Amino acid sequence: MWTKENRQVYERHGLRYPSDLTDEEWAPAEPPIPPAKRGGRQRTVNIREVLNGVFHVLMTGCQWRALPRVLPPRSTVHEYLGLWEWDGTLARLHHALFVEVRELAGKEASPTAAIIDSQSVKGAEKRGARIDPSGYDAGKKVKGKKRHIVVDTLGMILAAHIQPADIQDRDGALPVSKEVRRLFPFVERVFADGGYQGAATAAVRELGEWHLEIVKRSDTAKGFEVLPKRWIVERTFGWLGRCRRLAKDFENLSRMSLAFLRLALIRLLLRRIARHRKS
């Protein structure tokens, strides 16, 4: 519920664009970003402005050529985004912020429970020599890509994979589950929907000492029903939907789609940390 106090916390007056980082948001984002390399010509690019440019594309969904002139050139912003995805900067930044948000919430850095789900996203018109394959999800009648995510009980993403939409949930769960087991070995219970039943999901159970619990909707239920734990991952998909760049799959490469997915969570985590430091 909106109150005067809440509006003062969430308002972003005084910024050039609502997507720009405040000083409180830039403070935790700066340390994981690599400094300029030694030798050669000195770096003249303002890294904070580069991150502002990336967030502007993420939030508004604008084309790269429509990036405002007050921000760094589109080639510079795009080049840094590709570099940060390639060298793992985005993954390190997301992990550092994820741990801090959990500790601020009074939880252990490594979760013990997780929820897995997927979302099929319609693909946009694309062209180019290098385009990762898409698929057709016959159940949802969507041609494009599938976002497979695993979240904790706060709704923060532990791991994510981008796959063609024609891959079944039970088949696509294995690679993302392997990443969760590698990064967060203390997960003991994973909640999922009925799409993760079957022999293919047995390999997920064998990855470690965790229990895969299927949360089903009651056969007698009528209309909308909030299901235990599963609503958490659905809320996360709702958070991702606030970023217009994620409304469709606009990227030619799946790794760039994953980069924008990580950026959406980084944006959310930065704002949570900044609000906590303000209060």
Token pair 């990036």 in the structure block, residue:
67
Residue indicated by tokens 């789900």 = 117
In what helix (H) or strand (E) does residue 114 lie, and over which residues does it extend? strand 113-122
- pTM, entire model: 0.91
Tens digit of each residue's pLDDT, the chain (279 residues) = 668 777 776 777 788 999 999 999 999 999 999 998 888 888 899 999 999 999 999 999 999 999 999 999 999 999 999 999 999 999 999 999 999 999 999 999 999 999 999 999 999 888 777 788 899 999 899 999 999 999 999 999 999 999 999 998 888 888 898 899 999 989 998 888 888 877 656 767 777 778 888 877 666 666 656 677 888 999 999 999 999 999 999 999 999 999 999 999 999 999 999 988 877
User: What tens digit of pLDDT does each residue of 87-110 get?
Assistant: 999 999 999 999 999 999 999 999
The CA–CA distances, whole Å, from 171 to 63, 154, 183, 202, 206 equal 34, 26, 20, 10, 14
For residue 259, what pLDDT is reported?
A: 96
Q: Would you state the pLDDT for residue 201?
A: 67
Contacts of 125 (CB under 8 A, 6+ apart): none
Task: Say what the pLDDT of residue 64 is.
Answer: 94
Identify the residue whose tokens are 């985590």: 269
Residue 145 · residue 167 · CB < 8 Å: no
pLDDT score at 110: 92
**The pLDDT value given to residue 12:** 79
Q: What is the pLDDT of residues 156-189, one digit of tens each?
A: 999 999 999 999 888 888 889 889 999 998 999 8
Please report the pLDDT score of residue 199 as a whole number: 67
Token pair 């979240």 in the structure block, residue: 151
User: What whole-number distance in Å separates Cα of residue 16 and Cα of residue 29?
Assistant: 19
Spatial separation of the C-alpha atoms in residues 71 and 267, rounded to whole Å: 18
